[in-house]
Structure 1
Amino acid sequence: MTPARGRSFLGRGEIAELAEPVFGRGRRVAEAQRLRGGSKKGVYRVLFEDGSSAVLYVWSAEEDYWPATSGDSAASSGEGPFSHASGLRFFETSVACLERAGVRVPRLRFADGTRSRRPYDFAFAEDVRGGTLEERLTDDPLGARAVLARLGEALELMRRRTSPRIGKVADVLDGPETAEGGSRAGRPPRIRQAQAVVLDRALRHLDEAAARVGSIAEVREQCRAVLEELAEGIEPRTRHGLIHGELGPDHVLVDDRDEPVLIDIEGTMFFDVEWEHVFLRIRFGEHYEDLRVDGLDERRMELYRLAQHLSLVAGPLRLLDGDFPDRRFMEGLVAHHTGVTLELLRSR
């Protein structure tokens, strides 16, 4: 990927300097490839002369295309479930939490958040070379069903791990309330209902989208009323499951045993499982039937579906204000999710 507007990405020489203390001088870096698609961190495949490989993650301002204020108000800079989850702290905590739950993620080889060697956080992890589940579903949809079944089992393991609080695992597990509900230091838990957080966020996204997209502006008041009506009818909850948050088939790798491996995990959080299933339905399309589960709250699903489509209009618009390189892709997202939002409102 060519750096946009003067961004400086890592070259082979710098990556080799990072790798040498981790892998030893005997494993020389032959090639380093910056992988496409990331918007918050840099992802590099590091190929060694002995034929082995690793993945390097880099969290730096050069690699993060999101504006300083991400549009999620206080949640963008604090401990909210939709905070800007970019950094080694989020990554390491999510790796540990998912592994404890029995969910496969790339094995962490080394991590450095001291910034003593470089002015950024970085980590080396296992290079899972089986491609993405998205590719598998395209090339061999019948054969991919076994991987989908195992992904469903992983999601069930995550759903069983619960917390009375909502938020990123790095915030919940380091906060005043543990994932098992124990209070720390005698401080009262800070508990807010997930649907209230989603409603506030959706209303902000509605305002952002309406300011930029004429067709959204025309239905702004109707959309606001629908969001508020849906949220008002949702019953409170006291426990929330562990979810990935943005689990599309491109965020699932397949290893050499056909096991699903979750990536882009910094946003892993305790939240309503319905949020995960709405996103799964959006991204997996017809293949979602292999991941569907019983017992979900349909009213939550309805609210979260409208909220997510609004987010998928407002978020790409913010990236388009910057120098994100794949602008056509983002413009397509805005157009598609604007159309779905309008259709959802017409169908009511």
Structure 2
Amino acid sequence: MYVWDPSENYILRDGSIESRLETLGASFGAELFEFNHKYMNQLGLSLPNVLYLDRTKSSYPFDFAMVEDVGNVDLPKYIQCHPESKKDVFEKLNEMLTKMHSHKIDKYGQLNKVAEILNQSSPLEEVILENSLQDLEYLSENVTSIRKNKDRLTEVLYSLYDAVPPRKEYGMIHGELGPDHVFVRQNGQPVLIDIEGVKFFDIEYEHSFMKFRFNDDYDYLRYENLDAHRMRFYKLHLHMSYTSGPLRVVQQGDFPDIEFMRDITKYNLKSTLSFLLE
């Protein structure tokens, strides 16, 4: 069962996030889930079937959906139980991602909004730069090690941005694809979950994220011909984003698993600062 209760979305509580959603795209809500599910189904991607979806709030004060039970076994758990199937499962996942990433258009943004866009004056990498600078400003105000190195990190960020060549073609990405966002059916077929953030974007964004989320298993999903400059630029952006976002949640103080958020913050803070050693 999926539940979209705004009171439990700790990221959206921070008002400063709203402007970012207009450019990077939202990743929460039944409307997005419904649209993305239909769109992705038409491409033949493997998803849990939707049995019932209610956006009326007539029964509960939130939107919800009943979806197919695909076994509640995520990718790491499945591989732990079926190590002999690891290569086959990753090949199927890679095939699905290839289909997604190869589905391209000349605009970036949410699946349900790109058709309305007539002109995008700002290149995607410029939007990412602006968001990264916002993250850096916030972090410099709240993290001593970032404050001490703000100027150097700004220089590194601009250097990586300047190296990114122009592009006007974008593939479909999941947006936050880690091992925990892939479930596996009993027959070994991987299934994508948490699809609200699916959008058209640089596929290097997805690969930069997958590279540190899948660790050594990323080799099963590695692509040739990715733009190395974009990979580096997005890697720094993502580490700063995943430092500032969880830190904001930690500062709210009422997240159920606060230590988990602290661990995410610490890991990404360390990864952000590592760019100063290269």
The TM-score, its normalising length taken from structure 2, stands at: 0.94
Map of 1:260-271 to 2, 5 A cutoff?
Answer: 260-271=190-201
Q: 2:234 aligns with which of 294, 304, 327?
A: 304
Q: 1:339 aligns with which of 266, 270, 274?
A: 270
Q: Indicate yes or no: 2:44 matched with 1:102.
A: yes
The TM-score, its normalising length taken from structure 1, stands at: 0.76
Query: Cα offset for 1:70?
Result: 5.4
Deviations 1:304-335 (A, max 9, x none): 00111111110111111221111111111111
The residue type equivalent to 1:61 in the other structure is: P
Correspondence for 1:61: 6
Within 2, Cα distance between the matches of 1:75 and 1:232? 22
Greater percentage in helix: 2
Over the matched positions of the two proteins, sequence identity in percent amounts to 34
The residue type equivalent to 1:81 in the other structure is: L
| Corresponding residue pairs, total | 277
Q: 2:225 aligns with which of 274, 295, 308?
A: 295
Q: 2:146 aligns with which of 195, 216, 237?
A: 216
Query: Cα offset for 1:143?
Result: 2.3
Q: 1:232 to 1:309 in 2, by over 3 A?
A: same
Q: 1:141 to 1:312 in 2, by over 3 A?
A: farther
Within 2, Cα distance between the matches of 1:75 and 1:312? 14
2:4–2:63: 8 Å Cα contact kept in structure 1? yes
Correspondence for 1:121: 63
Correspondence for 1:169: 111
2:178–2:213: 8 Å Cα contact kept in structure 1? yes
Correspondence for 1:49: none
Answer with 1 or 2: which has the greater Rg: 1
Larger RCO (CA under 8 A, 6+ residues apart): 2
Q: 2:33 aligns with which of 74, 79, 91?
A: 91
Q: Indicate yes or no: 2:5 matched with 1:75.
A: no
Within 2, Cα distance between the matches of 1:205 and 1:214? 14
Q: Indicate yes or no: 2:193 matched with 1:244.
A: no
Query: Cα offset for 1:139?
Result: 4.4
Within 2, Cα distance between the matches of 1:196 and 1:72? 17
Deviations 1:175-221 (A, max 9, x none): 24xxxxxxxxxxx3335322111111111111112222111111111
The residue type equivalent to 2:97 in the other structure is: L
Map of 1:152-167 to 2, 5 A cutoff?
Answer: 152-167=94-109
Map of 1:187-226 to 2, 5 A cutoff?
Answer: 188-190=118-120, 192-226=122-156
Where does structure 1 lack aligned partners over 5 or more consecutive residues? 1-55, 177-187
Within 1, Cα distance between the matches of 2:273 and 2:82? 34
Correspondence for 1:112: 54
Where does structure 2 lack aligned partners over 5 or more consecutive residues? none
